[in-house]
Amino acid sequence: MPVDFTAETHMPGHYFSRIARAMARIGDSRLKPLGFATAQLPVLTALRDGSARSQGELARWAKVEQPTMAQLLARMERGGIVRREPDPRDRRSSLVSLTEEARAKLPAGRKVLEEGNRDATAGLSEAEVATLVGLMQRVLANLDALEA
Amino acid sequence: MPVDFTAETHMPGHYFSRIARAMARIGDSRLKPLGFATAQLPVLTALRDGSARSQGELARWAKVEQPTMAQLLARMERGGIVRREPDPRDRRSSLVSLTEEARAKLPAGRKVLEEGNRDATAGLSEAEVATLVGLMQRVLANLDALEA
DNA sequence: ACATTAAACATAGGATGCTATTCAATGCCC
DNA sequence: GGGCATTGAATAGCATCCTATGTTTAATGT
């Protein structure tokens, strides 16, 4: 006997988009006083120990394409968040690292983001959040396989 | 006794973004031969019965801001997907409807999108998909409440 | 050593999304 | 009816993401 699934159950795609946008809007508005943005977090996290990485490494880490990372880094450089110095080993490349000011504000930024994630999952038990993440990891694996 | 949760469990936000982007990339590439795009689907769905709606109605339906919908409709008009005619009841507004060609291709487009959603949730049981959607609806309710 | 391939960036151009602002038409209130 | 708030769009400006393409430097193979 077939069950009556709603259209939404067959088309979960739009939910991912709406949630991603809403979390970015909320995160960006809360991070604005610190001078950060949601999209910058992977970069900040990758460099938080003071290390320096190439643009390509950061793009692979953040799972965005290289030109996207190039633009993001340009904005971050303009905002005084990162600094670039030529890579002595490879003249094609430069090494990106955080400025002192960015490193100082970073813990506050991460706290804001964590709180946003907590707010988003309010009312869900730890087990339910784990279930949600587990299902999303399987969906992501499907999509990665499709694009490979 | 505290459990050792990974950073990902505490920060599910990035998953939503990655899944949304991957689904949009895949959907767009598959819809391209039909002349459609993923972002257009809510508009196509709203107008599929031949009805005509104002830009504001479509923006609220698709859950995007009015200028976003204005640009989307401009591209769709340029692509011959929608048509605008002045609203006889309100001179500020125009009524948007689908062209014949778009209505003809619409069922094929919806099929492509449904298949994309099926591919994304491959390996998940119907019950698991329902669980995923249910959890996402609760997250979305949290976010809507935060922004209200 | 030199030609070829590969890797790292840069640039161009476009799609989606947002906020802030402005303009025009409508509606409402007294 | 006249003033005022509201509503529907348009515009400007920007952030994020993408694909496609070019340029420069490095690495490789013969």
**CATH code assigned at B67:** 1.10.10.10
Q: φ, ψ for residue B51 (rounded to 5)?
A: -75, 170
Q: For the residues A36-42, what does the mean pLDDT come to? A: 97
A29 touches chain B (CB under 8 A): no
Q: Which residue type, as a one-letter code, is found at position B103?
A: R
Q: Which residues of B touch A139 (CB under 8 A)?
A: 19, 120-121, 124, 132
Note whether residue B48 is domain-resident.
yes
Note whether residue B148 is domain-resident.
no
Note whether residue B125 is domain-resident.
no
What is the span of the domain harbouring residue B25? Answer: 12-113
Q: What does the alpha-carbon distance between residue A51 and residue A96 come to, in Å, rounded to a whole number?
A: 8
Q: Does residue A9 have a pLDDT over 70?
A: no
Chain A nearest CA to B72, separation (Å): 16
Q: Supply the DSSP symbol for B81.
A: S
Average pLDDT over chain A reads 93
| Contact: B15, A137; criterion CB under 8 Å | yes
Mutate to test the interface with A, among B6, B18, B38 (most CBs of A within 10 A): B18
C-beta of residue A9 within 8 angstroms of C-beta of residue B136: no
pLDDT in tens, B104-147: 999 999 999 999 999 999 999 999 999 999 999 999 999 999 99
Note whether residue A122 is domain-resident.
no
Note whether residue B2 is domain-resident.
no
Angstrom CA distances, A97 to A44, A81, A113, B72, B143, stand at 9, 9, 21, 38, 33
pLDDT in tens, B39-71: 999 999 999 999 999 999 999 999 999 999 999
Q: Which residues of A touch B116 (CB under 8 A)?
A: 13
Q: Does residue B8 have a pLDDT over 90?
A: no
Note whether residue A102 is domain-resident.
yes
Q: Does residue A4 have a pLDDT over 50?
A: no
The alpha helices in chain A, defined as continuous H runs, are 7-10, 13-31, 41-46, 55-62, 66-78, 100-120, 126-147
How confident is residue A6, by pLDDT bands cut at 50, 70 and 90?
A: very low
| Share above pLDDT 70 across residues of chain A, in percent, rounded to a whole number | 93
Nucleic strand C within 7 A of Cβ B28: yes
Domain count, chain A: 1
Q: Number of Cβ pairs closer than 8 Å across A and B?
A: 159
User: Residue A22 class from Cβ within 10 Å (0-12 exposed, 13-18 middle, 19+ buried)?
Assistant: buried
Note whether residue B127 is domain-resident.
no
Note whether residue A128 is domain-resident.
no
